[in-house]
């Protein structure tokens, strides 16, 4: 069995889902693709308090609605609801992921290759920066 890889189009698709959730007012405190050594594939984990406040059914409904509204420029960008795992902010993986962007200035998405999280080895993680990105400055400023 070959090792599945995370491709750029998946990270672009994940960003579309995350941005869509945020645009709807869904509180997203962290988001990341992760491939655990004991898992058959990569999953997009989204940390949101909506799981606690409104329950998992409502949280996943918001995800499905956003996926339906996304403009998928490339079929390889498509993110299926089965690719997504929603986490409460207190989950061990959530607390780990929230700290990752700070290690990388918090303004750029970051790859973390190999790690040990929650009693399991991780092949790789792609963590999205969720902080507002600085606006481009006009030339000569």
- Map out the domains of the chain as residue ranges: 8-127
For the chain, the average pLDDT equals 83
Which one-letter DSSP state was computed for residue 76?
A: G
For residues 51 and 141, the model is more confident at 51
What percentage of the chain exceeds 70 in pLDDT? 79
pLDDT of residue 92: 86
pLDDT of residue 18: 96
pLDDT tens for each residue of 3-54: 577 888 999 999 999 999 999 999 999 999 988 888 889 999 999 999 999 9
Q: What average pLDDT does range 64-83 have in this prediction?
A: 93
Integer Cα distance of 13 and 79 in angstroms? 6
Query: Do residues 22 and 136 make contact, with C-beta atoms less than 8 angstroms apart?
Result: no
- In 3D space, the residue among 121, 52, 126, 116 whose CA is nearest the CA of residue 86 turns out to be 52
């Amino acid at each position: 069995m070959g090792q599945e890889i995370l491709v750029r189009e998946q990270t672009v698709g994940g960003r579309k889902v995350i941005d869509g959730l945020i645009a709807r007012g869904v509180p997203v405190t962290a988001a990341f693709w992760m491939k655990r050594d004991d898992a058959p594939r990569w999953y997009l984990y989204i940390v949101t308090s909506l799981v606690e406040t409104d329950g998992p059914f409502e949280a996943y409904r918001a995800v499905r609605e956003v996926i339906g509204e996304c403009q998928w420029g490339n079929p390889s960008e498509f993110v299926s609801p089965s690719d997504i795992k929603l986490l409460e902010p207190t989950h061990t993986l959530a607390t780990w992921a929230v700290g990752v962007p700070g290690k990388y200035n918090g303004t750029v998405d970051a790859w973390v290759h190999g790690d040990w999280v929650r009693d399991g080895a991780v092949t790789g993680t792609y963590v999205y920066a969720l902080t507002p990105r600085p606006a481009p400055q006009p030339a000569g400023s």
